[in-house]
A and B are shown apart, each in its own frame.
Chain A
């Protein structure tokens, strides 16, 4: 076991982790943050997406010991973020989820896209989300929802970002 210290969703935490444990397992099993889902555990599906030092990464492709000293944010830490709020509302409205297993990963990836490009085309939404797999929706509704959230955020930048 090895001790690591990180900033997790804005809080400093100290954890003892196994050296061979990946970050997503540590978040789920040691921190109880089960919003980070494990699908394939080899980097294909994107269900385990978390943000490390500001960038979306695969939680299963980083060892927990590598997060020592890092800033990590999971879906649980994004609840007050106006972009995330707008995305979640749009996902519900457009039925962009069914079982919901892939949803945290899609939301985090889509939030990163909107931060980079507030007015993404459908094509660029598809390209940016291409590393996240959904087995229920067929993607059309997810692209719709991201497009809708981005539009609302552009139209109401001065409010708290809540979709109206």
Chain B
């Protein structure tokens, strides 16, 4: 249960970090909060030549506003605890505020970071699904390519696979201002509070009951990436009855079973979460 030997580099600046990544590529792993990386090191699931610690890069730990777009800009090193308690996040990205307490346990939230979670691309994690539901923009930087932006919906490619190249550092994530009529719901089911989700749901919508104009219904813990239930969302916008939307959802989800839940159980729980989220949005349910 001890890591294999590695070279430890404490990045002194973003440029320094990008140099290290340009030089070592896949052989270097970035240490942000370490709440997934260090267990993987301890278990020797990964044995990198270089561990690049970016925790000294305080410029990547800020929550501020992008002057050009007005987007809420969260630096890669912002920790889960700060997202949970930050007033600006609560006002401008309430979905993140609602989701943060669901991430693991307090001691893990004190260290774990937004950027680390996004870069890891764990399909059962909360932040990737929230980023997709909010149509967030993930910012990547490299020494040779400068900075580029990738929509969250295109970022997550597969199980622990993302659009990030080995020489790129995920520097932050931008969340566009929500519209005046934007509403959100975050729901999760786990066997024990703080465990990885059996199934979770991050939902964002615009409009009002009976007149929805846009909706993103994003499940996590059910596939290799966050899963957008697009047919279900389209049905809900079109104003179909809930059982019809439920049927669409059941048709488009193909959950991967885990140690405790079969695919069938996960599909059942996903429908349950959708029903709760639909209520959260203020929609009347038949028979109530």
Contacts and interface: CB of A to CB of B under 8 A. Distances in A.
A109 interface: yes
Contacts of B110: 55-57
A131 B105 contact: yes
A12 B7 CA distance: 26
Interface string A123-134: 000111011100
A62 B105 contact: no
A131 B34 contact: no
Interface string A41-71: 1110010010000011110111101100000
Interface in B53-69: 53, 55
Contact of A65 (B1, B4, B8, B43): B8
Interface residues of B, number: 31
B108 interface: yes
Given A19-B8, A55-B81, A62-B34, A42 B107 contact: no
Contacts of A42: 1, 39, 42-43
B107 A58 contact: yes
Interface residues of A, number: 30
Interface string B1-22: 1111111101000000000000
Contacts of A46: 105, 107
Given A42-B43, A56-B110, A58-B108, A22 B38 contact: yes
Nearest to B193: A130
Interface of A: 2, 19-22, 25, 41-43, 46, 49, 55-58, 60-63, 65-66, 109, 112-113, 126-128, 130-132
Interface of B: 1-8, 10, 31, 34-35, 38-39, 41-43, 51, 53, 55, 81, 104-108, 110-111, 192-194
